[in-house]
Structures are given as C-alpha cells and as structure tokens.
Structure 1
Amino acid sequence: MKFLLVKSLMGFGDRLECLAMCIEFAQKNNMKLRVDWSDSIWGDSFYNYFSIGVPSFEMEELTGLSVYPAYWKDRLNEPLTEEIVNTKPELELQVLTKYDADVVVAICTGNRMFYTDYKFMGLKVIHPRIVDTIQERRRLFNLKDKWGIHLRGTDRFKIKEFRERRFQQLYIKLVHRGLLSNGVGCVVLTDDPEYAKLWSSRDKSPILSKLLDTESKGIHYSNPEDLGTTKEELNIQLLIDFFTLACCKQIFSTTMDSRFANMARHLKPYINTII
C-alpha cells in the first residue's frame, strides 16, 4: 500500500470524522493520502480550504498501479455518488485493515474510529477569507469567553413541534446553567431560519450565521443556484460557522449526535494552530 484516496458523500462533521481515521491509517502505514471531495455535496477541492499532516499525491502517479477495491481501477477520477453508496456495499472498507494493492480507495461509510486527541490530523485552514473572518469574529465577539450555541435543524427536524421541543430542551439547560443571565454570553450558529426566529424571540445573543432558506434541507444538501449563491460560497459560510463554534469556550447543540458540533469540540483545543 502506497496511496490512500479518500472519497466522501456526507455532511462536513462526518467528513472530518472519517478523514481523521484515514489520516491515522496513512500515517501508520507510511502512505500518501489525497482527499477527493468532488462529490455533489461538497463539490470543490479540499485543498482550496485545507492542508493536513500527511503528504498528498497527484492522480497521475496512480497510472498502472493496482487498486483496491477493484471497482475503482478505471474510475479513480470519478466522484462518489449516492447510487454507488446504495448499490455497492462491497466498497465499504474497514480502513484499519491492510490490503494487497498499491492504491486503496476509502469511501468513508461504515464504522468509524474516535480519538481523545486530534492533533495528529495536522489540519490547517488555508483559505484567507475564512481565516480573516474567524479572526475578526474572535476579536469582535470575544469567542474564547462565549458559549457557542449550535441550533441544528433543517434536514434533522422537519416536524415543527419536534424542532420546538428540542429548542425548549436546550434553552432550559442554558437557563439552568445561568448562561442567559449571568453575563457569560452566547453566540448562535444555525442553518435553520425557523430556529433563528425561535432564538430571537427569547434571547438577544447574536446569530452569526448567514441564514439562507434551505427548505428543510441541511445547507450541505442545498442547490446553490436555488439560493442565489455558489457552491464555494456555501462551503465558505459553513466553514466560517464551524470554526467559529470551535473557537467558543463551550459548545451546546440541539442534537446530541451532531457530528458538526462534536467535531468542533474535538478540534477546539487546536484552534490556534488550525486558524
């Protein structure tokens, strides 16, 4: 094994979870790793936004090499699609296994590893606008002393009553902790306009997200043309919100299993080297 090609088809938090596992595998096996996020959800080059702590490679280097799974032999440049995920279960890899091939293709489905320390990822944001915006938010809102509130809605909560119930549960927790009355202060990140309205009706903490009408879909599933924007702009706004959250003193979410919020927590200790 010499090369690890990582494809994906999911939200950003899930991508980071899988990428961490792949980076560790590449490091342990002295492999080069390339991230292919050309799928319909991300739709842009990973390397326009990030660098990581493992050497990359050019696709031309893979010419004539053996590939596992064999399905990808003549399809290495093709993006991962929902059809492939749904009809090719044999492509799911346990990325901690060694394979008898020069090139291994991981599609980031199946079981995942979790870590207590994510420093090994070597993740760094290299997009100037994202870095500048995060640094500005850190100064303007003193994020290191603020509680980051992640109101996860859209694709997760399509039923209004369920959304409102989750909101009430989070709000009550914040009140019980005294966070809305003792001057600690919060900043709010969300991809859900309805959640933003609910929050604004109760509290004056700033909502920092650039809200868009996503019609009960996660922002990562939205068609940028329908929203009057571009895929690059959607990615930029998502990353600005994610790393804003990671800069906060503590992070709360309406969804306990939100990968977006959980990965922000995991990367928070390294935010000064990431940004």
Structure 2
Amino acid sequence: MCVYYAQQNNLKIYVDWTDPTWTHGGESFYTYFKLVNMPVLNSLDEIPADATYYPKYWKGNIETPLTQELLNQDKQLGINIDLATADKSVDVIVFSCVRSRNLYADSGFFARSFRVVDKKVIAGMKERLKVPLATCIGVHARGTDRAKHTIRKEHSIQFMAVGAFPYASKPMIVVGDDAYSIEIWKRYYPHTVVFGTPALSSNKGNHLATKEELTVSKYDLTVEFLVDFFTLAHCEKVISTFKDSRFAQEARRLHPYVRQIVGNE
C-alpha cells in the first residue's frame, strides 16, 4: 500500500485522483480526505523541475491523468510497477494503483493515517447516526455491475434474505447502487430503513458511468458512496449480495475504527 510504503521509507506523498473513476472536474482525493501523521506534498507543483522519476515515463507527464487507454500501453510504457522492487534511487516514485487493489488487513492503520474532511460526508454521517447504527444489521444490496440480468438480481437478493433470517428481529438498514435490488430486499424485510437514492440503474457500475450518464455530479455520487460505506462500517454486522464484495469486506474491517476516521471521536 502506497501510504504505508511512504511512511516506511520516510517519503512525502501525494495522492492523484485525476482519473475519470474519481473525478469529472475539480474533485480530488483532498476534497474528501487528508493524510495525518506523515509528511505530504500539497500539490504536484512542489516537485522540482529536475526531479528524476520511476517509471521514467512520468518525467514530463506527471500531470497526465491515468486512463484505461494509458494502462493499455503498459507494455510499452512500463507504468504498472511493483513497489517492492521500485527504484529507490530516484526522486519520485509513481505507483498506478487502478489495477492493484489489495485487502489491507490492518484497518487500524487507516484510522491512524486518514481523516475525512469533506463537510457533506461528515454532515451525511451525522444525519444517519440519528439511527442507532451500532445495533443495526447493515445490508449492502449491490446490483449494477455484478448482476447482468434481472433474474440473477432476484436470486442474489433471495439468497441474502434467507441468510439474514437469524437477524430478522434486529433493526436493518440498506444501502446499494441499484434501485431494483433494494426494492426486492424490501419485499422480504419491509421495515428496513433505506438510505440514499441510487444514481443509476443499469448493468454498469456507477463509478464507470460517464458524466452524461449520471443523473447527479461525480462529486455527489462519491459523497453518497463514502457515506454509504461509513454507514455500513458503523453497523453491528454487515451482509452483502456477494461474499467477495470489497465494499462490505472493508466496512466490516473498519468497524472498530470508523468513528476515529470520520471524526466522531
């Protein structure tokens, strides 16, 4: 993980979210978070003009957004690197992490290193915490990019509803990226509190939608995504449509530390 690597090697760090997964305009990593307890760069402009880079491609291209088209040229450009074998003799190491998502077991690390700073995310969590989430079952009804057909969405929710039966007496909340999946869930547990309004109902993940396809801004979509994530992390237990859901897994891991990272304590 880049933040841990920077800490272990006493390096300043800058997180660049200029790729279309996270921004359609002026949003950046620092719109939502700040890094604490470590040295940071405030902008790419702080890098000296004569700095050396690894991989070499980024020399003169450091402000180029990381797109799928660029990643497709990896064999020629060599931008997909392994931090463990990175050249430490250079001034700047650039790690492109679109294809390199890993589970990081120590969620306490995130609480020590990250803070949420976006006012809409913090306000959204304050509103949701009016519901006693710590005693709720959090339901993640994922649908858009994992269930290509309506029948599969129905079957996935049915299986999850059966698995949730032991918790039927507990209060439940549901978040998700697909309106139809949430509708199905409500048929089985009609008293479930629904949080948020799915921005898109399709067979493509909302994070991959273009600016024209979204009914809200990328900023508002990311705010809701983060608020949904931290909502699940506050819950007593999290269940999800898919066992390998990264969203649900990380929410479970972050549970003991979520109040610290969001700033509730």
Matched, 1:103 2:119: no
1:102 Cα deviation (Å)? Answer: 0.9
The match for 1:69 among 47, 55, 58 is 55
- Structure 1: 5+ residue runs without aligned partners? 1-20
1:109 Cα deviation (Å)? Answer: 4.8
> What aligned pairs does 1:195-234 form with structure 2 within 5 A after superposition?
195-204=181-190, 205-234=192-221
Aligned to 2:45: 60
1:149 Cα deviation (Å)? Answer: 0.6
Alpha-carbon distance between aligned partners in 2 of 1:227 and 1:77, rounded to the nearest angstrom: 26
> Residue 253 of structure 1 contacts residue 261 of structure 1 at CA under 8 Å; is this kept in 2?
yes
Structure 2 length normalisation: TM-score?
Answer: 0.88
Compute the RMSD of aligned alpha carbons. 1.7
Percent identity of paired positions between Structure 1 and Structure 2 = 34
1:249 Cα deviation (Å)? Answer: 0.9
Which secondary structure state, in structure 2, belongs to the residue aligned with residue 264 of structure 1? helix
Matched, 1:143 2:133: yes
Alpha-carbon distance between aligned partners in 2 of 1:193 and 1:151, rounded to the nearest angstrom: 9
Matched, 1:36 2:16: yes
What letter is aligned with 2:28? S
Q: Give the aligned length.
A: 250
1:111 Cα deviation (Å)? Answer: 5.3
Q: Which range moves more in the overlay, 255-264 or 188-197? A: 255-264
What letter is aligned with 2:172? C
> Residue 26 of structure 1 contacts residue 32 of structure 1 at CA under 8 Å; is this kept in 2?
yes
What letter is aligned with 1:85? L
Alpha-carbon distance between aligned partners in 1 of 2:32 and 2:220, rounded to the nearest angstrom: 12
Alpha-carbon distance between aligned partners in 2 of 1:211 and 1:115, rounded to the nearest angstrom: 28
> Residue 125 of structure 1 contacts residue 131 of structure 1 at CA under 8 Å; is this kept in 2?
yes
Alpha-carbon distance between aligned partners in 2 of 1:264 and 1:222, rounded to the nearest angstrom: 24
Q: In the superposition, relative to structure 1, how do residues 52 and 132 fare at CA in structure 2: closer, same or farther (>3 Å)?
A: same
CA-to-partner distance for each residue in 1:201-230, whole Å, 9 max, x for gaps? Answer: 221201112122332221211234433321
1:80 Cα deviation (Å)? Answer: 0.4
> What aligned pairs does 1:1-275 form with structure 2 within 5 A after superposition?
21-43=1-23, 44-53=27-36, 54-57=38-41, 58-62=43-47, 63-89=49-75, 90-99=78-87, 100-109=89-98, 113-121=102-110, 122-139=113-130, 141-175=131-165, 178-180=166-168, 182=169, 184-204=170-190, 205-275=192-262
> Residue 224 of structure 1 contacts residue 234 of structure 1 at CA under 8 Å; is this kept in 2?
no
> Residue 191 of structure 1 contacts residue 209 of structure 1 at CA under 8 Å; is this kept in 2?
no
What letter is aligned with 1:41? T
1:233 Cα deviation (Å)? Answer: 1.0
Which secondary structure state, in structure 2, belongs to the residue aligned with residue 124 of structure 1? strand
Which secondary structure state, in structure 1, belongs to the residue aligned with residue 195 of structure 2? coil
- Structure 2: 5+ residue runs without aligned partners? none
